[in-house]
Amino acid sequence: MVTSTKSVTYTQFRYFVALARELSYRRAAQVLGISQPTLTSQINVLEKSLGISLFERSRSGTLLSPEGRALLPLAEDVLQSSIRFEEKARDIAGGNRTTYRLGVPPTLGPYLLPFILPQLHKRYAKLKFYVREAAPTQLVQGLFDGHFDIIISPGSHESSQLVASKLFIEPLKFVVPSDHALSGLRYIEPEQIHGETVLTLEEAHHFHHQVHEICMKIGAQVTRDYEGTSLDTLRQMVVMGMGVAFLPGLYVHSELHQPDELHVCELKDTPIERQHNLVWRNTAPGRVFFRELGNEIRRILSDTLGHAVRVDS
């Protein structure tokens, strides 16, 4: 029985769908960019308003209730309809819209965009981007919510609502202080990292989890005592001898201009890479142009960064 006639808000729809996807209050709050208590409070308000429990909560985790499973597709439809409404309104107001909201991760944007945006401007004189940086999980959520039109994001995107066009594969480089015992070697054996203190970024970054997976595979240990807030901070911690680290190839290509500070090498017979994709909603009015845009970005990358990354065909 419904205990209140108060309408469900757009924000409550967003929170419900995000929690249903993550099935974790902590992860959903991170994706939404809010505090966990705020999310908990809003879900409680929503459930009280509807008069039903949307989730089952236990010590083992969070699950959708039968009522929640029944309502989830409808909530997703509401969000998608709202996005399409806003997109159509912008198209009507602006004619052929040439300004798009582009999302990129902070571990990629500053080291990629300077190579592609000027070239895109030459090719499409009226094309403009509002660029915003966010963690990959927040980028994908922002795409679902309509806060972004397109994103460049690492990893796979398993959703029927999204289209991902592969752009390029970026290598991850292993860096040590210049006075480290491994300095001077072009390739090192994975077992040579055993016992080393491997530094990484904070948990909010996708890069953090990728480094963890790498270290688990090769038997290395990631320290949680010192986590960088940015790639620059991570580099400086390595320079000061606090540990070793993996850094994205484009960051190394763009920022490491003083080779005396750090030594860059690779793991022998162990290629470490990350795939980057151009991603958009499958209902986006600009989806035909986005495919063309992906082709143009790949062409630009082949001309400008073909020596630093492997461009998808």
* pLDDT over 60 at 1, yes or no: no
Question: Residue 282 sits in a domain of what CATH number?
Answer: 3.40.190.10
Q: Give the pLDDT band (50/70/90) at residue 91.
A: low
Q: Quick one: 156 and 283 in the same domain?
A: yes
What pLDDT, on a 0 to 100 scale, did the predictor assign at position 93? 64
User: Do 280 and 158 share a structural domain?
Assistant: yes
Bigger pLDDT: 44 vs 217: 44
Check residue 127 and give its pLDDT.
87
If asked whether residues 110 and 197 sit together in one domain, one would say: no
What would the pLDDT profile of 100-112 be if each residue is shown by its tens digit? 999 999 999 999 9
Q: Which has the higher per-residue pLDDT, 19 or 92? A: 19
Backbone angles phi, psi at 20, to 5 degrees: -65, -35
271 falls in which pLDDT band (50, 70, 90)? confident
Domain hosting 239: range is 169-273
Within a domain: residue 240? Answer: yes
- Domain check: are 238 and 267 in the same one? yes
Domain tally for the chain? 3
Last residue of a domain, one of 60, 94, 128: 94
Instruction: Tell whether the model's pLDDT for residue 19 goes beyond 80.
Output: yes
Q: Does 179 score more than 70 pLDDT?
A: yes
> pLDDT (tens digit, 9 = 90+) per residue, 207-235?
778 888 888 888 787 887 777 778 899 89
244 and 118 together in one domain: no
The arithmetic mean of pLDDT across residues 8-33, rounded, is 92
Domain for residue 1, yes or no? no
Cα separation, 278 vs 100, in Å, equals 13
The two structure tokens encoding residue 62? 């969070």
The least confident of 32-36, 169-173, 213-217 is 213-217
154 bridge partner residues: 276
Whether residue 267 sits in one domain with residue 174: yes
Tell me, yes or no, if the pTM score tops 0.75.
no
Domain assignment present for residue 4? The answer is no
Cβ(54)–Cβ(16) under 8 Å? yes
Q: What is the pLDDT of residue 37?
A: 93
SS3 283: coil
DSSP letter (8 states) at residue 192: G
What pLDDT, on the 0 to 100 scale, is given for residue 2? 45
Q: Where does a domain end: 61, 77, 94? A: 94
In 3D space, the residue among 194, 223, 197, 193 whose CA is nearest the CA of residue 208 turns out to be: 223
Mean pLDDT of the chain: 88
Pair (297, 202) in one structural domain? no
pLDDT at 97: 57
Asked whether the predicted pLDDT for residue 96 surpasses 70, the reply is no
- The verdict on residue 2 lying in a domain is no
30 and 57 fall within a common domain: yes
276's tokens: 């980057």
